[in-house]
Every structure is written in structure tokens, then in C-alpha cells.
Amino acid sequence: MKIDKYIEEAVTVGDKNGIESLSELQKNIYIIAEAEISCDMDGIDSFIEKYNKKGVLEASVAYSLIGAIDIAKGLKEIAKALPNPSETVLERTNSFITERYNYSYESIKNYVAKNI
């Protein structure tokens, strides 16, 4: 299966059946996509509200796996501080996610290629 197709399918299946229906690799793809969409559209608060501490920690792991260490650290810090994370950390992490700081779609593709 082509990598782009695999990524697309992970997001489609996750949207349709929920994150728990996905394999570990698919979950990592999906949670990154969800963070990107949430931060782009409504801000990181919407992502936190939807996924709570567990999901934020899962996103932290997923971002670390694609090499986005600053985002991973920010998400981990947010999760540890919930329900009252620092506004500064929220804003910085949201900005990093919307900017795709230190990662790109190619980073996700490379991660998938190594783990498929």
C-alpha cells in the first residue's frame, strides 16, 4: 500500500470509527492530524477538550516519533499541568503545531515508511 494512501486511510477510518479502532501506527497518524486540525481551526483548547490528558499524552508520543520534539515536550507539559496548564505553554504549543514546527508531511511519511 502506498504511504499516502495508508495515511489517508488512517484518518478516514479514525473519523468514521474512532481512534480506538485504529492500530498503533494509525493512531499516531490520526492524533497528529486531529491536533493539527484542532489547532488550525479552534486552538489547542479544543484538542485538549476532545482528548483530555490521555489523548494529549498520546499526541506527545506521536509527535516525538516524527521528530517534533518541541511539540512533544509542550504537549507533555500541558498534560501534566491539566486542568490548569500555563497559558504561555498553551500558546507556544498551539503555535508550534499550526506552524508544523520541526516537522512536515514528509516527516509523517518517513515515520510511516519505517513502521508499516
Give the pLDDT of residue 30: 98
Radius of gyration, CA atoms only, the chain: 13
Predicted TM-score (pTM) of this structure: 0.96
At position 19, the amino acid (one-letter code) is I
Mean pLDDT of 3-26: 97
Task: Convert the pLDDT of each residue in 50-103 to its tens digit.
Answer: 999 999 999 999 999 999 999 999 999 999 999 999 999 999 999 999 999 999
User: What residue spans define the domains of the chain?
Assistant: 3-115
Per-residue pLDDT tens for 29-41?
Answer: 999 999 999 999 9
Cβ distance 116 to 1 under 8 Å? yes
Does position 1 have pLDDT exceeding 70, yes or no? no
- Tell me: cis bond preceding 83? Omega within 30 of 0 counts: yes
pLDDT at position 29, please? 98
What nine digits make up the cell of 27? Answer: 493512531
